[in-house]
Structure 1
Amino acid sequence: MSTSETLQSHLVVQLAQDKLTATLQFNVADEKFSCTQAQLEEFIKSHGIKTGIRQDVLRLIAMNPSAHFYSQNVIAQGEPPVSGQDGYIRYSYDMNEGEYRPVEIEGGKVDFKEVTQLKNVKRGQLLAEKVMATAGKDGVAVTGEPIACRNGKEAYFKVGKNVVLNPEQTALYATIDGLVSFTDKNKINVFPVFEVNGDVDYKVGNIDFVGTVVIRGNVLTGFKIKASGDIRIVGGVEGAILESDGSIEITGGILASNKGYIKALRNVKSTFIQDSNVTAGEDVIVSQSIMHSQVRAGRNVICSGTKGLIVGGLVQAGDRVVARTIGNTMSTATTLEVGVRPELRSELAELRAHNKLSAENLDKTEKALNLLDQLAAAGQLSQDKLALRVKLSSTKRATIEEIALAKQRVLEIEKSLEDTDRAKVDVVNVIYGGTKIVIGRYTRFVKDETSRVSFRYSEGDIIMAPYV
């Protein structure tokens, strides 16, 4: 038997699926087996291995074959592809809207008046720069073929109001003096600032401003603030109406006595929310407590400060609710809903109510048409009754079409209720009985006090797992 035939019968070369490694194994433990390093190299090359051959391993196998009878020996190593770095936008200001921290003064107290750090800029000032993506580097398989890499993705500016790009499209500048603000879909803007050094009361009146509003005082019951930028309030909010295309930040808390409402297309941040109606397109971030309120967030409701209490009312979030304490020892009814955007839940309830009303109207229309059909069959249909019959037939067709469309929309929303992978309720400390957890279309009532748990959906049920 020739050397090449001996190698063929004793050795097996295997190529990894990604073609980045090749291994050599003995399929016969023959103590008489011998070969040279050069013969081994020629053998593996005959199996298509061209690059990255590990001569050190081949030398060891040739010197002492029996030591390698029962192991997989990596005899070639390719070069993996290197992915390029994605580009990103580097901001000149910290645009993070994480939980605010009031300035601490002596004795452990905090000064809530010193919390609003405004991002003021001047005309022509640099706001953000584009960091370019980098190209990747192709890899090489042990067979000598190139392995394609992934190049980094370029980042793009989301240009808002009163900002301009340089000709190279690599930097963003302010075109006016004002306040840097993110709005819906992460557009970066510079808005002029309307500032009130005191309360919003009868001396100031309602505010409707194409920019950012800063109130260095309280907003009293019955007043309204509308802003295309952010609303910052260094004080408290009573039963007022606040509407922002950006974010709303309230350092003194919201105590609305179930009057007015607060709505932001991005985030709402407050010390506490009590007897209030609050809606945010993205997150609601509260440092102390949410009590007996209606709170809705497109993404998350986070109430995990030192107190971090949610009790009473209804809290809805598209993704997640997290709190230190939920409910109380008196089993106050508290409902938490996650797993679907709150506006979809509202739409679903409205559609069902509308469908019920439409079905009742359709029934009345059909009964009236039946009566008119009987009169027509008896030849007793007057001209005005004939016109009514045509009109009711048209109404019937329109109502049937309307009900069909509404039912289709109900099915779409119900399908989205099934998509509950990210949805969960996290309890950092304790949850009390009397709490109702809704995830998608599934409901669970908490009967007993439980500590440090996370509620999420799994296989047709809401399960309770340890909070990590």
Structure 2
Amino acid sequence: MKLQRHFKSAQLEVSDGQSNHKLEISEWVSGGSILITLESDSSKDSFILQAGENVELIDSSTARSTLAGYPSLDITESGSQKTAVINIEPMVAISEDGWSVRLTLYPPIPGSVEVGGELILEQLEQLGVRFGIRENAIKSACEKVSQERSMVQNLIICRGRLPVNGKDGWLRSELELDVRPGKESLDGSIDYKERNLFVDVRQGQHLATIVSATSGMVGKDIYGNEVPQRVGEPLVLSQGEDIIVEAATGIIRAACAGVVSIANGRDIRVTNLQVIGGDVDYSTGNIRSKAAIEIRGDVLPGFKVTADGDVVINGEVSGAQITSKSNVMIGGRVTGKNAHIEAGGDITLNFIEEASISCGGSVTVASSIYFSDIRSDGSIIAPGGAKIVASTLIAGESITLGQVDTISSPSSILAVACSPERLETYNAVQEAINADKIKITRLSALVGPDSEHEELQALIRQTRDNETLLHQFNLVPDGSADEPASGLRYASQQKIVIETSLEQGAEIRIGNSLATLRTSLEPGTITLDPDDEKIVYKPTGENKLPITLSV
């Protein structure tokens, strides 16, 4: 049996942009081209022909391409038996989600077709690509290959227009509420007065105005199909004992005198102010109040503080639970595995160790975060000299940090453009997959990997279904939970800012993209490249090139 190749290959000197080196290159072939045939002859060789990527077998002795590109042949031997595997590296490759097209070009070998712009556009048309074609990029790529004898790999030459999701309705404050983090004193404590918490309002005073939701803009994929956006949801507030809602104008007024709390731009209330002059301990018991609360001492282990309005604690929180429908500010340390702070709005702290936080707004930590778990629908800020060690920080928006981890500490997990609730679900499904795979391995050892054993087959189906679910799962809060591409624009706008350093080993997630640091980073910014959905680090300073982080 003789193997007959129907394409040419040659050793060419090719530039990769930095140096020249010898590379075996095959000629470009069109889709539907015959690549390999097996023919009878007098030799004793026996061939098995196998179709690799973008190749199909017409019969057991003939292989042809299913896409235009560059063929490669791999032959392995076992005694007199030879196996030939033929693959096609596509010239134009469409991404799985249908949002982009990448181009790969090699210099032509002598006597072969030289690929030009017209041929590439023709291939795109045959594939049904009609929108977002970057003709200038195609022209530049062809000139580079022709003039510099350089190869072009995975260049994006077409990109769909991502949908712009609408913005939900929100509250525009008409009061002078300073949204800056509380001012840090020399001793590390926070002056909550810098936040203008506990702002007194009079009955009938104009507090805020409801801003209408926006509709956004539809997207379009590379095939020209419209992709619907998420339309913003209107903010609906019910009139109650504390606020008056003027439906025609969206104006919110105080129904009574008191102190005002605005949480996360979506919730507003007017309450009384309750002051606890000392500690929350056995003398006070747990605190439950519809008012705003100021605690001038500490909250001792095991006690709970629950309030509708803002909560300000001048002292420490040790192993206690603080819950507010509005905002929380704590001047002292928050410590202990049982310490948990939860707020509908923002949380501002000085120091946290072995504790957890969840909030609907943003989190600001002035000093340090040690071995803690912080989940925020907004941003997480621990800038400048703040130290973060072995902690998990998950933000729906961006993160700004000082020094993250040390050489000897466990690594932190940093996630931005992630819904904390969705990420928790994602991790739970991943853990279930891992557990089921262990069960499959153990059960297969008992009944055989090809067994029709009912429990084994059920585990295999369940694992396959869960893997499909994760593949389609969207962690970005701005998009639909089952459409990963719907939040890409939002995810690419979020960032991780490192103001001091970030040690190697940290896990970095931006939306649906994940990377693990292989080296430590100096001050810089970590973002998501929307073209290839890879995580990129840009060092601070001029003339420093961005670096793609390892997956």
Normalised by the length of structure 1, the TM-score is 0.59
Aligned residue in 2 for 1:278: 357
User: Does 2:473 match 1:413?
Assistant: yes
> What secondary structure sits across from 1:258 in the alignment?
coil
C-alpha change, 1:95 and 1:157, in structure 2 (3 Å) is farther
Shift of 1:253: 3.1
Q: Distance in 2 between matches of 1:131 and 1:258?
A: 40
Aligned residue in 2 for 1:371: none
Aligned residue in 2 for 1:239: 319
Q: Distance in 2 between matches of 1:401 and 1:332?
A: 36
C-alpha change, 1:166 and 1:340, in structure 2 (3 Å) is closer
Spell out, residue by residue over 1:27-82, the C-alpha distance to the aligned partner (whole angstroms, 9 max, x if none). Answer: xxxxxxxxxxxxxxxxxxxxxxxxxxxxxxxxxxxxxxxxxxxxxxxxxxxxxxxx
RMSD of aligned Cα (Å): 4.3
C-alpha change, 1:94 and 1:156, in structure 2 (3 Å) is farther
Aligned residue in 1 for 2:534: 461
1:220 to 289, 300, 308: 300
User: Does 2:321 match 1:261?
Assistant: no
Aligned residue in 2 for 1:447: 519
1:433 to 496, 500, 504: 504
Figure out how many residues of one structure are paired with residues of the other and give that number. Answer: 334
Aligned residue in 2 for 1:294: 373
Q: Distance in 1 between matches of 2:411 and 2:366?
A: 22
> What secondary structure sits across from 1:343 in the alignment?
helix
Q: Is contact 1:160-1:187 (8 Å) kept?
A: no
Aligned residue in 2 for 1:423: 494
User: Does 2:412 match 1:334?
Assistant: yes
Q: Distance in 1 between matches of 2:281 and 2:312?
A: 16
Aligned residue in 2 for 1:351: 429
Shift of 1:323: 1.1
Q: Distance in 2 between matches of 1:96 and 1:156?
A: 23
Aligned residue in 1 for 2:183: 101
Which ranges of structure 2 fall in alignment gaps of 5 or more residues? Answer: 1-168, 213-233, 442-453, 477-483, 542-551
> What secondary structure sits across from 1:421 in the alignment?
helix
Spell out, residue by residue over 1:119-138, the C-alpha distance to the aligned partner (whole angstroms, 9 max, x if none). Answer: 12233333246899xxxxxx
Letter in 2 for 1:466: P
The structure with the largest strand share of the pair is 2
Spell out, residue by residue over 1:191-214, the C-alpha distance to the aligned partner (whole angstroms, 9 max, x if none). Answer: 233321111111111122223222
C-alpha change, 1:362 and 1:453, in structure 2 (3 Å) is closer
Q: Distance in 1 between matches of 2:396 and 2:295?
A: 30
Letter in 2 for 1:429: T
Aligned residue in 2 for 1:124: 204
Q: Distance in 2 between matches of 1:360 and 1:114?
A: 52
1:175 to 245, 248, 255: 255
Shift of 1:350: 1.9
Spell out, residue by residue over 1:163-187, the C-alpha distance to the aligned partner (whole angstroms, 9 max, x if none). Answer: 1145864643212232211235612
Which ranges of structure 1 fall in alignment gaps of 5 or more residues? Answer: 1-86, 133-154, 364-392
Letter in 2 for 1:271: N
Letter in 2 for 1:197: G
Spell out, residue by residue over 1:88-134, the C-alpha distance to the aligned partner (whole angstroms, 9 max, x if none). Answer: 976442234321115x5xxx5577466474212233333246899xx
- Of 420-429 and 399-408, deviating more is 399-408
Spell out, residue by residue over 1:122-159, the C-alpha distance to the aligned partner (whole angstroms, 9 max, x if none). Answer: 33333246899xxxxxxxxxxxxxxxxxxxxxx98856
- Of 108-117 and 216-225, deviating more is 108-117
C-alpha change, 1:406 and 1:264, in structure 2 (3 Å) is farther
> What secondary structure sits across from 2:204 in the alignment?
coil
Q: Distance in 1 between matches of 2:202 and 2:370?
A: 41
Q: Is contact 2:197-2:310 (8 Å) kept?
A: no
C-alpha change, 1:328 and 1:91, in structure 2 (3 Å) is same
Q: Distance in 1 between matches of 2:204 and 2:423?
A: 45
> What secondary structure sits across from 1:246 in the alignment?
coil
Q: Distance in 1 between matches of 2:265 and 2:171?
A: 15
User: Does 2:277 match 1:204?
Assistant: no
Q: Is contact 1:331-1:433 (8 Å) kept?
A: no
Letter in 1 for 2:401: A
Letter in 1 for 2:370: M
Letter in 1 for 2:520: D
C-alpha change, 1:109 and 1:362, in structure 2 (3 Å) is closer
Shift of 1:435: 2.9
Q: Is contact 2:203-2:257 (8 Å) kept?
A: yes
Identity of aligned residues (%): 22
